[in-house]
Structure 1
């Protein structure tokens, strides 16, 4: 496989054009297309309380779970969704979200600041002034992601 970058000044900063060339359409090509589509995902379709919602993933602050239900906390309100956190984690773009505990995912862009807490965990304040706990088990991954997050 060969990958190369070609600058195109006719495109806007937000536009990216990807072209895949191969002798034939294979399962690897299909997986690559799915990965690229998922990487660039900007919206999530969910069903909550009998209604369907299209959510911009940038509006999601964090997700937590209780049993089989995940609660998606948005900037303005929250929605309950009948999916496990693991299933939802697979649907959300990995470049924006990181697990902070067994029960929570956080949008890295929603973090205002992080402090040490008395329990040895870390305390994260979000842009909406809510405070969540980052468990010690997940702190290393969160820290690495934040240091490398654009």
Structure 2
């Protein structure tokens, strides 16, 4: 494989182009790895009492809106944010996915899916916390988790 970097001052953000002679299954793996790798060490700010904390995305289990309040859940704590769910979603790496109207989860933190007729319960590694995924998002959630398993 040949790797080449070109510098263009007119670009707003990095662009990756993959050229191949034919259909290669490794190309899809490379594409997914690039999409799931955060490019920066950006943190999200969350408040607990009157203290502002800066949270690394990989430590976040899920983000949900409850009673018009955005809550950021880690394994041990819950932080609040003044931002809206759609605003925070644009700042998150590709390994986050919306699974309900008011919930975004970290796909790398999912331990199990418990599907029933009416819903899907998501549990996380090293935490007692659980969240529901709506039926609308279930198929897409399963596909993304399968893709990530193939990459590892």
Specify if TM > 0.5.
yes
Count, aligned residues: 127
* Over 4 Å off, 4+ runs: none
Unaligned runs of 5+ in 1: 7-17
Aligned counterpart for 2:13 among listed residues 31, 35, 50: 31
2:107 counterpart residue number = 108
Q: Does 2:125 align with 1:139? A: no
Provide Cα deviations, 1:79-124, integer angstroms capped at 9, x if missing partner: 0001111111101112x201110010011111111121231x2221
Q: Describe the SS at the equivalent of 2:43.
A: strand
Moved more, 83-92 or 39-48: 39-48
TM-superposed deviation, 1:20: 3.6
Normalised by the size of structure 2, how large is the TM-score?
0.71
Q: Describe the SS at the equivalent of 1:88.
A: helix
Contact 1:46 1:52 in 2 (8 A): yes
Q: Return the structure number with greater relative CO, CA threshold 8 A, min gap 6.
A: 2
* CA RMSD, 1 decimal: 2.5
Contact 1:45 1:52 in 2 (8 A): no
The 1:105/1:19 distance shift into structure 2, 3 A limit, reads same
Contact 2:46 2:72 in 1 (8 A): no
Contact 2:75 2:129 in 1 (8 A): no
